[in-house]
Chain A
Amino acid sequence: MVITEQKKLEEILRFLEGCERVFLLGCGVCAATWGTGGEKETREMAARLAEAGKTCTGWVVTEEATCDVRTTRRLLKQHNAQVEAADALLVLSCGAGVQTVAALVDMPVYPALNTLFLARLQNLSVCDERCRLCGACILAETAAICPVTLCPKGLMNGPCGGYKDGKCEVDRERDCAWVAIYERMEALGWRERFLIIHEPKDWNAARHPGFINKREGAAAGGAR
């Protein structure tokens, strides 16, 4: 799940300066589940903007992910009159959703959220980052625990010297990724795998921006 947080209202009002009428669009997938851009939050945002003197021409939450051009295009068409009546669009989704909307309209589009990370959702209050989208997954070799994400130094071959009682030196509240990997390896009877030396990572796959066209059979992650 893509984890987002709401921007402070002052920041949103700063970039909405000069835009009196605003249309709001929330995302029904990640932002809705995490409680930053679903129906409730979009309605609340509309109310806060109204309190600040803005006119809300309407709001909608995408049923699918906002980042899916096909469904978002259809939804914007359905709400064409309200969108046209606005000076700007405020999008409550991750950065991919905001840009999806921006490419579909000829008017200012602003983000209401900051996009934080790709996470595991433990419950509706707790999530933890689990994937850095590095493009070359090594989970098969690390007992399905990602050191690229969970170690602040991204170490590939075991822990640094700083862990204490199984906790990370950078944040004593957090488990050391490599202690967790080692313990899982032990439990699985894979102790010898810890001794495998992982070669330096090929960061090519992590280059930005990623682009794929399946029809052309283009490779993943290539810059374009």
Chain B
Amino acid sequence: MKSGSNLEKVLTEGHFAVTGELGPPKGSSADFIRRKAEILRNYVDAVNVTDNQTAVVRMSSVAACAILKQIGMDPVMQMTCRDRNRIAIQSDILGAVALGVGNLLCLTGDHQKFGNHPESKNVHDLDSIQLVQMVKRMRDDGQFLCGDKISGGVPLFIGAAANPFGDPFEFRPLRLEKKVRAGADFIQTQGVFDIERFARFMEKVRERGLHEKVYILAGIIPMKSAGMARYMRDYVAGLIVPDELVRRMETAQDPKEEGVRIAVELIHQVREIEGVRGIHIMAVAWEEIVPVIVERAGLYPRPIL
């Protein structure tokens, strides 16, 4: 075991994993975190906690993760390279481990142009692959990036993101391979809507044998409305939403119900694809739908390990 986190146990024991996501508040309320977390409890194996997502200032990921640990849930701490240099990142990682965090998702981070402080300096001292490699070194060699020895262990289950959808398409699997070579234990993908394309991506992944080296969790984004579907299709970087799904959302009597139906269908479809070891449901600001989707997808109850 790398960290012995619940997520790691679920995956290593061969269960189809389910992770959820929680965006900390634009404020200081611990109750907000607890409230959102309680919705997800027992329906997901671990909860991603975003790190100032879309470059909008929120409560720190490490603090929100600590609150999840206090109430007995398994957080996946997201860590971006946008706001901290290698000194601050390593320091925060040690702090997170001290607070019981067992999963770390290494990300580049959204550009601050899209956030609420577009005039801020971007750091990017490391990129996400270098971050994965550094965390692996901290864990496996007990060393900081500079080579100094770390006192105490750094047991972390290391994650990275993958986007199977950017064009040109052919080097997406190569980028994933770099993350695996750098030391990623698990991968959470961008939201999957275009199953045909995702299947092609997974085929390339299998050709390179990557599915045997890393646990791949397919991203699922439940759609709440036709407007959201159109917005994701037209404006969200790295997403491909087929027109057919947008049409279904537009013509549905009950768009929320249609969104759930589509999410459940997508879960069944990604589950069929060899090498997919779980799903990551991103329903920020619609957490209450997660239990519904998990149950209807036949993924409830979750394993207790």
Contact = CB atoms under 8 A, between A and B. Distances in A.
B181 A195 contact: yes
B175 interface: yes
A169 B171 CA distance: 17
Contacts of B109: 153
Given A159-B175, A182-B168, A200-B86, A164 B127 contact: no
Interface string A63-103: 00000000000000000000000000000000000000000
B166 A161 contact: yes
Contacts of B283: none
Contacts of B111: 152-153, 162, 169-170
Interface string B94-131: 00000000000000111101000000001011111110
Contact of A161 (B82, B113, B129, B161): B161
A138 interface: no
B124 A200 contact: no
A115 interface: no
B166 A164 contact: yes
Nearest to A170: B111
A137 B236 CA distance: 34
B178 A158 contact: yes
B122 A152 contact: yes
B129 A197 contact: yes
Contacts of A197: 129-130, 133, 178, 181-182
Contacts, number: 91
A174 to B, nearest CB: 12
Interface in A173-224: 179, 182-183, 191, 194-195, 197-201, 203
B167 interface: yes
A155 B174 contact: no
A154 B111 CA distance: 11
B237 interface: yes
B53 interface: no
Contact of A164 (B161, B162, B237): B237
Interface in B16-65: none
Contacts of B127: 153-157
Contacts of B126: 200
B237 A153 contact: no
Interface string B143-158: 0010000000000000
Contacts of A157: 127-130, 178
Contacts of B122: 152-153
Contacts of B145: 200
A135 interface: no
A130 B166 CA distance: 25
Contact of A155 (B113, B124, B168): B124
Given A161-B108, A194-B178, 15 more contacts: A152-B113, A153-B124, A153-B127, A154-B124, A157-B128, A158-B178, A164-B166, A169-B237, A182-B168, A195-B178, A197-B130, A197-B182, A200-B86, A200-B126, A200-B134
Interface of B: 81-82, 86, 108-111, 113, 122, 124-130, 133-134, 145, 161-163, 166-168, 171, 174-175, 177-178, 181-182, 190, 237-238
13 contacts: A152-B111, A158-B171, A159-B166, A162-B111, A163-B166, A164-B167, A164-B238, A166-B167, A169-B238, A197-B130, A197-B133, A200-B126, A203-B125
Closest 6 CB pairs between A and B?
A: A161-B163, A162-B237, A157-B129, A169-B237, A161-B238, A155-B127
